[in-house]
Amino acid sequence: MNTTEHILIVDDDREIRTLLSRYLEGQGLRVSVAADRRECEAVLASTQPDLIVLDVMLPDGSGLDICRDLRDRRPPVAVILLTALKEDVDRIIGLELGADDYLSKPFNPRELLARIKAVLRRMGSTEPLSPQAKIYNFAEFEVDPDLRRVLRDDGQEVELTGAEFDLLKVFLERPGRLLSRDQLLDVTQGRSRDPLDRSIDVLVSRLRRKLGDSMSGPLFKTVRNGGYQLSVPVRLTTSDR
């Protein structure tokens, strides 16, 4: 990670803001803080953070509303939600709205740092473009992993969140393989799955909705008690940038 990466912490707990800002700054990150939605919007109006650590419960509104408003922001900004330990509904809604990951309170700052690194790495913030681009083709789609871009045959771009793109890339790299929820979560987010964790199911559902079906049937097959698999052929090509 490099020192240009800017993290915005949005939490109404002053102690949490102070603790996290000191810890993350000590790890070489640039940090801004906001106590509520109003302060968050003020920061976003003047700067472009790379990632927002966003508490769901704020005194002047919901962090989920902020997450929803960020979906159309360009360039995109990654979001890690902070939720109460048992607020599974908020986690699922947050993922539906485009959050990249979530963390339940209370948490260890080291775990948050690991999540931040993983999300930024997946966003490609520190990886240069390859001289030769790998291009995946499947059904009616073309996927460029370096540019994180999905195009239909007619040239229309499919807008995916960072978490959605990461999951699709895992399937493209392992076409036809049955992948369990635990495997998918480990590869995409670098963590083990809680028994009640439905994040992979939510992301697969969103990919299905955005990509639709192929002419021969569904793109993704669900195997009961097994997981998911990409059910169409994938062709890998390379081209010079």
Per-residue pLDDT tens for 205-216?
A: 989 999 988 777
Q: What is the mean pLDDT of the chain?
A: 85
Residue 193 pLDDT exceeds 60: no
Give residue 225's Cα distance to chain centre: 25
- E strand or H helix at 66: helix 63-69
* pLDDT one-digit tens code per residue, 70-86: 876 767 788 999 987 56
Block residue for tokens 């992948």: 179
Among 123, 148, 165, which residue terminates a domain? 123
pLDDT: which is higher, 196 or 95: 95
Name the residue range of residue 117's domain: 6-123
CB 22 within 8 A of CB 33: no
Q: Confirm whether 1 is domain-assigned.
A: no
Torsion of the alpha carbons at 167, 117, 7 and 199, rounded to the nearest 10: 30
Residue 222 pLDDT exceeds 80: yes
Can you give the pLDDT at residue 122? 74
CATH code, 216:
1.10.10.10
- Binning pLDDT at 50, 70 and 90, where does residue 191 land? low
- 117 and 14 share one domain: yes
Among 100, 123, 146, which residue terminates a domain? 123
